[in-house]
Chain A
Amino acid sequence: MKPTTKSQQKIWQRFSRRSLLIGGVQLGFAGLLGLRMRQLQIKEADQFRLLAEENRINVRLIPPERGEIYDLNGFVLAENEPTYRITIVQEDAGDVDKVLEKIRLLIELSDDDIARARSEMKRSAPFLPVTLRDRVTRAEIERVAENAPSLPGITPEVGLSRIYPLNDIFSHVVGYVGPVSSRDLERRQDDDPLLRIPRFQIGKVGIESKLENGLRGRAGARQVEVNAVGRVMRELDRREGTAGQKLQLTVDANLQSYIKARLGEESASVVVMDCKTGALRAIASAPSYDPNKFVRGISYNDYNELRDNDHRPLASKTVQDAYPPGSTFKMVTVLAALENGTITPEDTFFCPGHLDVSNRRFHCWKGGGHGKVDLVTSLKESCDVYYYELALQVGIERIADMARRLGLGEKHAVPMSAVSSGLIPDKDWKFANRGANWLIGDTVVAAIGQGYVSASPLQLAVMTARLASGLALDPQLIRAENGQTKLRTDFTELDIDPKHLKIVRDAMFSVTNDRKGTAYSSRIIADNARMAGKTGTSQVRNISEAERRSGVIKNEDLPWERRDHALFVNFAPADDPEIAVCVVVEHGGGGSAAAAPIARDITLQALYEGDPPLDAYPPKDRERIAKQQREIRAKMPDLNAVRKARV
């Protein structure tokens, strides 16, 4: 049987030649492998056998110390404590049942512990250690050590474990660590051998997770000589690893503890931002949880309780939750109008209590209306109709652009988990995500921070800090790594006319200092600490026309989860802003009643770095505030008991 054409014949010959060549290459390579094997196994066998048999050199990892985390003043937020655990090696134990029976007489072992260890033993190879119990006491370790000869395969081991001395104060910021899971290994493209150590602790949430690589450090190694069953006989060589980076945060443990105590049982979040550097002095969300429980392995009951709580203690509300900003968004709308030249501060609109736009009636919060309203009055009394009118003239694109310039709708780069970007809607967004065209009514509600608009408390704090400073500040949480400062200071001026910013700042001042301002009752009267702010009350339900006719139901008469969110943003001192504050109380009711008083207390606490003198408050509040201060002090943890590092 022969190929028919000449070229077929040629290609056939070529195939034969080339398969011969490839066969030759394969044979040659196999020969090379054989030679290499001969070199390793026969020529150098003695040398390797010496290494292997007589010394039985084994390289063991030394886990590095995880980097500690401090606050601004050096109070330790996360550190490491030695812990002891008992492990068993099946192969060395021989009769596992018998050994387990014996060890149960010495240390406390629940049936759960035994069941878990047994299933772990079934899955892993017989020569690998399996942990029987973590966190045994020193006394128990000693008992085990004394009885070592009758407990083959049992080894007490010492290790470091993470502890958070301030418990729930910084849980949402710092996060927590836990044993490496197979999901962690898949999620992180990481071939660090440390991750293969059973139960090695790795960051799961918050800074612990986001800055894991720096905090972890590099493993050290020790060469040890082991006997025939793998027990360490002596150490031959030791190379220390590098400890993890020590992080100093910008947060102030004093202030944050105060905020946690001040918020009490509310479901709320607070951000305090430095107006010069963008450093976050406090970023708290309440209620909170104890991260130490997660490190130790939280019980089902405890976890379910946290998960099912309607105040959502696990949520990091400051960055993760985006709320309709309500009236706190009005600064954005008014700046968009000023920058666009649509209005001057003197222009007025008439507010009859509502505005009809394309067959729909949009209501002002004040049923009877505000009458003739100019810019300052509109912010001071939070007139909605004024902003409906602005919206019609300015349009959503300019409002959205201004919002973005002020840091809304942007996912800020803070090393916390689940940072939300909020939402600043525009025409393209609605078309792409809702499949519908933008309606003029959408612009009208967006102008007062309702509808599709949403922002996280962090974003609102950034917005306020940018308004107050005129700088394009970004939030910062890391002050220093290993003592080297990481704070950025290279912020540029905002692309907004400083004159317009001044107009808005002055209007915000009148909100808290003018007798008719919505937050007048929460004013500060100390001249060096006056604040300027804006209240916000964002609806979480629709109010029907029928309800409007019969009178809008008061918040107090609604179930908790249908009440309005209370918001307040402010900066202080008003003439030379140092800090910007955002307070959001979920379902707290009105911004002026529920959020502004909290913001005032926090502002003063931050400016005076502790309890402020009572004469900063208006005279009629002083007695109540004095009592409140005593109550809060009693609730705050004692920071003197916390170790303070030199920073």
Chain B
Amino acid sequence: MSYLEYRVKAIPTGFRKIFFMNWGLVLLLVAAAAIGFLMLYSVAGGQWDPWASAQIKRFGLGLALMFVVAMTPIWFWRNVSVVAYIGSLILLIVVAYFGSVGMGAQRWIDLGFMRLQPSEVCKVTLVMVLAAYYDWLPAERVSNPIWVIFPIILILIPVGMVVTQPDLGTSLLLLFGGGAMMFLAGVHWAYFASVIAMGAGGIVAIFQSRGQTWQLLNDYQYRRIDTFLDPASDPLGAGYHITQSKIALGSGGWAGRGLMQGTQTRLNFLPEKHTDFIFTTLAEELGFIGGMSLLVIYLLILAFCWISAAQNKDRFSTLLIMGVGVTFFLFFAVNMSMVMGLAPVVGVPLPLVSYGGSAMLVLMGAFGLVQSAHVHRPRGVLR
């Protein structure tokens, strides 16, 4: 069912839309970002420079983006989904061929004021295009093999391009996010069972291929797996991060050592403590209470998404909201498991908290879509 079938008149118009936004969600996002500012301030030794002030500016930009996206009708976003998806693929091609020229590495396009990571943009556009696809697809065809292959291709194109960057973490996030979308859309469970079985086979193959001529992953990726399985084997490389991260986390205790009092994160040479490993600082300085608070805020954000989806009867909107929720969940779940030593070290930031432009803007844009779906949800009965 689509917007053509509901009474457009019942939907708020003009600036009145602002009152119909999901303000609880906005507050939660601000709360999570505020924790981020505090930690960046603390990591810099009690200074707004170099990180916290820049992060506040970016969050401001992100909020503005969210409002703009939220004010735009959801059917507009549905109609541009395919264009957005293709646009993000073009951006990925651009980084692959031109990103390395100039000073940027393969993952970025330098926009001057920030570095845009197309792989981040892709996380949202993939969710959008899959939601639009299942909105368009008649319900009885959802599990038809031909109509299952198409979304798989939609998922695998960006995954393949991101893997070659190489960025294993983001590509796995894309894969899981896309898979969850298909699952939610109602594709028969047997497909998922067989993919999981194949995945298990693939993991075996990856380990078997090591050292052979057909080796599937880069050496550094194997090293990361090794250190994950046995951090003691390489206490200087990535294992160093995991060990130090655990010590810092554990020494935080109940209430932590207090802001700017964290010795471990400050004395130790953790180079990514303001980005991927920022949770370590949080947990050390604010303790179990601080860490749990952030986790609860994240869960509440998910809950708001989930409730908003349950209230919504438009198929595109519900799929989109759940998809954004799942993407958000994958972000923080992977990052937290990594710093707690439950997952290998992959470069995934802590959403809204880690220092960085692309992920922040893209997430805020995605929540703008959730807001738009919320504001423009169908109300009343069918004509």
* Chain A residues within 8 Å of B, Cβ to Cβ: 1-5, 7-8, 10-11, 14-16, 18-19, 22-23, 26-27, 29-30, 32-34, 36-38, 40-42, 44-45, 47-49, 51-53, 56-59, 61, 91, 123, 125-127, 182-183, 186, 189-193, 196, 219, 221, 226, 228, 230
Q: Is there a chain A Cβ closer than 8 Å to B287's Cβ?
A: yes
Residues on B with C-beta less than 8 A from A26 are 299, 302, 325-326, 329, 333
Q: Is there a chain A Cβ closer than 8 Å to B381's Cβ?
A: yes
A41-B218 CB under 8 A given contacts A8-B139, A36-B342: no
The B72-119 residues at the A interface (CB cut-off 8 A) are: 100, 103, 105
A23-B306 CB under 8 A given contacts A1-B313, A126-B45: yes
Q: Looking at the complex, which one of B251, B302, B381 makes contact with A1 (CB distance below 8 Å)? A: B381
A45, B139: Cβ atoms closer than 8 Å: no
Q: Is there a chain A Cβ closer than 8 Å to B207's Cβ?
A: no
A126-B44 CB under 8 A given contacts A19-B322, A221-B235: yes
A51, B44: Cβ atoms closer than 8 Å: no
A3, B1: Cβ atoms closer than 8 Å: yes
CA distance A50 to B236 in the complex (A): 21
- Closest Cβ neighbor of A189 among chain B residues: B220
- Closest Cβ neighbor of B256 among chain A residues: A41
Q: How far is the CB of B228 from chain A (nearest CB, A)?
A: 14
A44, B1: Cβ atoms closer than 8 Å: no
A219, B236: Cβ atoms closer than 8 Å: yes
Q: How far is the CB of B263 from chain A (nearest CB, A)?
A: 7
Residues on B with C-beta less than 8 A from A3 are 1
A126, B47: Cβ atoms closer than 8 Å: yes
A contacts with B: majority SS: helix
Residues on A with C-beta less than 8 A from B138 are 7
B252, A41: Cβ atoms closer than 8 Å: yes
A230-B267 CB under 8 A given contacts A1-B382, A126-B45: yes
- Closest Cβ neighbor of B302 among chain A residues: A26
Q: Looking at the complex, which one of B103, B238, B266 makes contact with A127 (CB distance below 8 Å)? A: B266
CA distance A465 to B108 in the complex (A): 48
Query: Could you say which of B121-129, B181-189, B351-359 contacts chain A?
Result: B181-189
CA distance A123 to B238 in the complex (A): 25
B337, A91: Cβ atoms closer than 8 Å: no
A42, B254: Cβ atoms closer than 8 Å: yes
A1, B183: Cβ atoms closer than 8 Å: no
CA distance A34 to B382 in the complex (A): 44
A41, B249: Cβ atoms closer than 8 Å: yes
CA distance A42 to B218 in the complex (A): 38
Q: Looking at the complex, which one of B44, B184, B340, B380 makes contact with A37 (CB distance below 8 Å)? A: B340
- Closest Cβ neighbor of B134 among chain A residues: A11
Q: How far is the CB of A127 from chain B (nearest CB, A)?
A: 5
Query: Could you say which of B23-31, B288-296, B365-373 contacts chain A?
Result: B288-296
The B277-331 residues at the A interface (CB cut-off 8 A) are: 283, 287-288, 291-292, 295, 298-299, 302, 306, 309-310, 313, 318-319, 322, 325-326, 329
B318, A34: Cβ atoms closer than 8 Å: no
CA distance A394 to B139 in the complex (A): 72
B299, A15: Cβ atoms closer than 8 Å: no
Q: Is there a chain A Cβ closer than 8 Å to B208's Cβ?
A: no
A127, B45: Cβ atoms closer than 8 Å: yes
B248, A52: Cβ atoms closer than 8 Å: yes
CA distance A44 to B263 in the complex (A): 18
A191, B139: Cβ atoms closer than 8 Å: no
CA distance A57 to B251 in the complex (A): 12
Q: How far is the CB of A354 from chain B (nearest CB, A)?
A: 49
Q: Looking at the complex, which one of A1, A2, A56, A123 makes contact with B263 (CB distance below 8 Å)? A: A56
B295, A51: Cβ atoms closer than 8 Å: no
Residues on A with C-beta less than 8 A from B252 are 41, 45
Q: Looking at the complex, which one of A5, A42, A183, A230 makes contact with B253 (CB distance below 8 Å)? A: A42
Q: How far is the CB of B251 from chain A (nearest CB, A)?
A: 3
CA distance A126 to B325 in the complex (A): 38
CA distance A29 to B302 in the complex (A): 13
CA distance A148 to B215 in the complex (A): 54
Given A8-B139, A18-B186: 11 more A-B contacts, CB < 8 Å: A1-B378, A11-B185, A15-B319, A19-B322, A38-B288, A42-B254, A42-B288, A49-B250, A51-B247, A126-B47, A230-B267
CA distance A47 to B249 in the complex (A): 12
Q: Looking at the complex, which one of B139, B292, B378, B381 makes contact with A10 (CB distance below 8 Å)? A: B139
Residues on B with C-beta less than 8 A from A221 are 235-236
- Closest Cβ neighbor of A197 among chain B residues: B269
Q: Is there a chain A Cβ closer than 8 Å to B364's Cβ?
A: no
CA distance A91 to B43 in the complex (A): 13
Residues on A with C-beta less than 8 A from B342 are 32-33, 36
- Closest Cβ neighbor of A42 among chain B residues: B288
CA distance A41 to B138 in the complex (A): 51
Q: Is there a chain A Cβ closer than 8 Å to B240's Cβ?
A: yes
22 sample A-B contacts, Cβ–Cβ < 8 Å, listed by A number: A5-B139, A19-B306, A26-B299, A26-B333, A30-B298, A30-B333, A33-B295, A37-B249, A37-B340, A40-B250, A42-B253, A45-B253, A52-B264, A58-B268, A59-B244, A123-B50, A126-B47, A127-B45, A190-B220, A193-B237, A226-B267, A230-B267
